[in-house]
């Protein structure tokens, strides 16, 4: 059986699929949520979940939480003399979930679908996969959290086509994904997010209000234990807003009791800065998907932080649309991951759905640019596959030599959004030999082909000689063998054919060219405009754009010929 796991910043969950749908598996304490906390005592005993969370209040220096935010980094957590990377701490959480599932289901579990924030880059996804392997799990798929939530909500079972936005505000990360449904296909149109924005930050606001209202408390004089106590009471105060418009935070510090009543209105006003941070990824995703706010048919709320009443009110006002909260926002992602696991097992009881995904980050290379004074400046980033491009995808960029008698071109393979190459993540490098010639006379065609399995093929062709060099980059630590990767890339070779050269497009283009030559005056101008619009769509290399443009151009030609 393939289980589904939501490896969260604050809490983690595990689920499995039954004939009646996906179900959450309770942990050893009979609770659905397992706190993502690890603690180690002086004897080396490791505690996970609720026990670790309780121990953290007494021994914060030997406990760790919120380590998901550092996933993929070299940050070290030292707990009672033992050193852990974030992925190693995550592996301990995953192993506990695996063991809980085995006890509950009465069978050995070796495979899982694990969710990650949509905006996790490949280093973070690799680290998540390594965490699964350390926990004794083969990670069958890394699934984006909003996509998992969309599956859990059964968007694909909805008969009406439409555009949906998944608003995922968890304990430590924020994701927004725009998905489009048609027939049994869920197409991810755009993703955006903030890996350092979540419920923990909204708790921190209450902490700051507490210190502001109690200036006699010097934060720098407090011990780690006292700071952890304040954090816990701030969290309880935040949860109190679920039932009341005024919540009370109560703390005992150095034998003094402090009580702070806090109204929901005052709290919301103090959260303005965080709400502004939420708006930015929403704007970016709508822009990338070329969709207007009013075009969104349904908004789905996911993540524990969305249980805050003013967050729900904020989303409702923003979209002029009552958000969907029909599934427990804490559980939606794990349930969706379990459904995805069932799809991979091809269970008869589940309807098959096609999921298309996008590149969360831009892939490109480093280039030099000519400045106004005629001098060249290196270190600039040239995008080749833009973020939020539907995958699989293939794009080509032609690059030229910049020096006389240049004998080689260095192609750095980069991932990121900065216009400066040094600010982006370097995935690899290829050096290509070119014949000596005058500057600008030699060129290479750089083709990036990116697969749904997170495999990137970089193909470089020297234009003058036809010599081709290829390199495969397994950007998501895929389990596919070299032979399987080769077969997959051969199967995707059709993507490298420019849409202009595909027969159905070529036929229409030639027909348009013929009619242009046969026409004069206003008719010729109209045909030229239609041809330019069709060519613009072909150059976008986006299937959905090309399909619509081809249909429109065909109708135009048929009307014109009538």
For the record, the structure tokens of 449 come out as: 């082909």
Indicate which residue of 87, 88, 140, 145 is catalytic.
Answer: 145
List C-alpha distances in Å: 264 to 141, 238, 247, 271, 278.
40, 9, 8, 10, 19
**Annotation marks residue 6 as catalytic:** yes
- β-pair partners for 135: none
Q: Is 536 exposed, middle or buried (0-12, 13-18, 19+ CB in 10 A)?
A: exposed
User: Is the previous residue joined to 392 through a cis bond, with omega within 30 degrees of 0?
Assistant: yes
Alpha-carbon distance of 525 to 533, in angstroms, equals 13
Given 87, 100, 140, 168, which residue is catalytic? 168
Catalytic residue among 68, 126, 129, 238: 68
Quick one: which H or E segment has residue 306?
none
CA count, 13 A, side-chain hemisphere, 104? 21
Element housing 212 (H / E): helix 199-213
> How many Å apart are CA 505 and CA 140, to the nearest integer?
38
Active-site residue 168, yes or no?
Answer: yes
- Token pair 């932080």 is found at 305
Contact assessment for residue 56 and residue 228, using Cβ atoms and an 8 Å cutoff: yes
d(CA 351, CA 356): 16
- Tell me how far CA of residue 43 lies from CA of 86, 96, 515, in angstroms: 21, 20, 84
Residues with catalytic roles: 6, 68, 145, 168
């Amino acid at each position: 059986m393939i289980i589904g796991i939501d490896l969260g910043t604050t809490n983690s969950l595990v689920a499995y699929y039954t004939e009646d749908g996906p179900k959450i598996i309770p942990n050893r304490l009979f609770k659905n949520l397992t706190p993502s906390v690890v603690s180690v005592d002086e004897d080396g005993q490791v505690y996970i979940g609720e026990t670790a969370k309780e121990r953290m209040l007494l021994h914060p220096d030997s406990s760790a939480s919120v380590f998901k935010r550092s996933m993929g980094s070299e940050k070290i957590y030292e707990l009672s003399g033992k050193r852990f990377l974030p992925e190693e701490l995550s592996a301990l959480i995953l192993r506990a979930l695996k063991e809980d599932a085995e006890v509950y289901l009465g069978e050995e579990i070796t495979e899982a679908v694990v969710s990650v924030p949509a905006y996790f880059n490949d280093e973070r996804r690799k680290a998540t996969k390594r965490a699964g392997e350390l926990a004794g799990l083969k990670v069958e798929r890394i699934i984006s959290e909003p996509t998992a939530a969309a599956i859990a909500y059964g968007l694909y079972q909805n008969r009406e086509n439409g555009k949906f936005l998944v608003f995922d505000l968890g304990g430590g990360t924020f994701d927004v994904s725009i998905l489009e449904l048609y027939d049994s296909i869920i197409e991810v149109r755009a993703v955006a997010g903030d890996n350092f924005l979540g419920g923990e930050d909204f708790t921190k606001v209450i902490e700051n209000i507490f210190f502001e209202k109690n200036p006699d408390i010097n934060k720098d004089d407090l011990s780690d234990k006292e700071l952890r106590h304040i954090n816990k009471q701030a969290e309880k105060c935040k949860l109190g807003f679920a039932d009341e418009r005024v919540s009370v935070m109560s703390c005992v510090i150095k034998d003094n009791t402090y009580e702070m009543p806090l109204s929901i209105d005052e709290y919301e006003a103090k959260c303005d800065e965080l709400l502004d941070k939420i708006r930015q990824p929403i704007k970016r995703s709508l822009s990338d998907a070329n969709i207007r706010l009013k075009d969104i048919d349904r908004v789905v709320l996911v993540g524990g932080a969305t249980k805050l009443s003013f967050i729900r009110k904020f989303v409702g006002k923003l979209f002029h649309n009552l958000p969907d909260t029909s599934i427990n926002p804490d559980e939606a992602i794990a349930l969706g991951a379990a459904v995805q696991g069932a799809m991979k097992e091809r269970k008869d009881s589940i309807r098959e759905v096609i999921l298309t995904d996008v590149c969360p980050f831009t892939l490109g290379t480093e280039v030099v640019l000519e400045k106004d004074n005629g001098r060249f400046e290196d270190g600039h980033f040239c995008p080749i596959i833009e973020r939020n491009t539907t995958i699989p995808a293939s794009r080509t960029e032609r690059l030229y030599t910049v020096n006389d008698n240049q004998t080689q071109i260095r192609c750095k393979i980069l991932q990121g959004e900065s216009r400066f190459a040094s600010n982006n993540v370097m995935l690899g490098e290829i050096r290509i030999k070119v014949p000596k010639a005058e500057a600008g006379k030699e060129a290479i065609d750089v083709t990036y082909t990116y697969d749904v399995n997170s495999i990137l093929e970089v193909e470089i062709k020297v234009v003058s000689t036809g010599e081709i060099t290829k390199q495969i980059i397994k950007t998501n630590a895929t389990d596919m063998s070299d032979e399987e990767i080769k077969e997959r890339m051969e199967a995707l070779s059709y993507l490298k054919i420019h849409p202009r050269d595909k027969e159905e497009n070529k036929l229409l283009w030639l027909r348009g060219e013929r009619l242009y030559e046969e026409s004069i005056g206003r008719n010729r101008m109209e045909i030229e405009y239609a041809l330019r619009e069709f060519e613009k769509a072909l150059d976008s290399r986006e299937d959905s754009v090309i399909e619509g443009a081809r249909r429109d151009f065909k109708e135009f030609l048929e009307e014109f010929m009538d």
